[in-house]
Homo-oligomer: A and B are copies of this chain.
């Protein structure tokens, strides 16, 4: 959540000159993104001042490989009317440019704010927006292997090891390893799938009142089950921070909003409990890995893996009941 690279006004102005967006009026480094730097730019646009863009600099080499995929996905979804930021192409038609060996992309600015404590109305809108994304990718021609899918967490958690996991919380190994074994048998196959967001937490949704004005940060997007993406979103939205307090009203509104656009099949509903446990494992795995690799005194906030252990326990106990309240 920082700006990792300094870009002076002169470098920004030189960059902007390659786009048909007018002159630079303002540039503020913004505290968003974990592995990239972002600036909110204002330009004179088509003569009209106050045209805004987000400039993203991709700080890690690994993302560069996937960047054309991510930017194409944004353009595809925007073309279908989904509220995602469109990529601004430069005067040669390129979706990204290089500065000092790092890729940068100019992306549409969307209004809206991220909520901490969603209302049912907001959750309903998020569910509907997610379902619209799922319909919109039907003819998106690209695919991307989900590095953070079942095989990915399994690998990550095996690498953390019993001792490592126990050092985070003594209860963790006895929760994690039996789940991994269960997934090996229970994980569904053949559900409807496509390129999905995979990380739709509240801070990746911009809202104006009860309406979704933006879905952002698609840098985990990958080919996976639509119902898995819904399960990730459900796990991310339906609990208070800390993961111990389940909000049934949010859960119901989210599922209703989703199904108002794309009704789930019986197979998807039946798979939902294991997919939701999988969604929790995905975040337990990445957070456990970060936890073990971040020094105690580092100045970055580590996210507690136990937050998603609480959610995992909820799904384990609730089973199919999650859908009972949703119409």
Interface, chain A (partner B; CB < 8 A): 1-3, 8-13, 24-32, 40, 42, 49-50, 111-117, 206-208, 295, 297-300
| A215 shortest CB reach to chain B, Å | 15
Expressed in whole angstroms, the Cα–Cα distance for A244 and B111 within the complex equals 44
With the chains together, A32 CA to B29 CA distance in Å?
A: 8
- Check A9–B207 contact: CB distance below 8 A: yes
Q: How far is the CA of A324 from the CA of B298 in the complex (A)?
A: 50
| A25 B299 Cβ-Cβ under 8 A | no
User: Are A10 and B50 in contact (CB-based, < 8 A)?
Assistant: no
Q: Are B28 and A32 in contact (CB under 8 A)?
A: yes
A24's nearest neighbour on chain B, judged by CB, is B113
> CA–CA, A27 to B111, complex, Å?
9
Residues from chain B with a CB closer than 8 A to the CB of A27 are 113
Give A29 Cβ to nearest chain B Cβ, in Å.
4
Q: State whether A116 touches B31 (Cβ < 8 A).
A: no
Copy count, this protein chain: 2
A-B contact pairs, 20 of them (CB 8 A): A1-B3, A8-B114, A8-B115, A9-B113, A9-B114, A9-B207, A10-B115, A10-B117, A12-B113, A13-B113, A25-B111, A25-B208, A26-B113, A28-B28, A29-B30, A30-B31, A295-B297, A298-B299, A299-B299, A299-B300
- A117 to B10 CA separation, bound complex (whole angstroms): 8
Least CB distance from A109 to B in Å reads 8
Residues from chain B with Cβ under 8 Å of A115 in the complex: 8-10
CB-nearest residue of chain B relative to A3?
B31
Q: A34 to nearest B CB, angstroms?
A: 13
A6→B2 CA distance, assembly (Å): 14
| Cβ of A111 to closest chain B Cβ, rounded Å | 5
Residues in B neighbouring A117, C-beta threshold 8 A: 8, 10
Contacts of A29 in B (CB 8 A): 1, 30-32
**A206 CA to B24 CA in the complex, in Å?**
12
Taking the closest CB of chain B, its distance from the CB of A236, in whole angstroms, is 15
Inter-chain contact A112/B25, CB cutoff 8 Å: yes
Q: Is A116 in contact with B10, judged by CB distance below 8 angstroms? A: yes
Contact residues in B for A13 (Cβ distance below 8 Å): 113
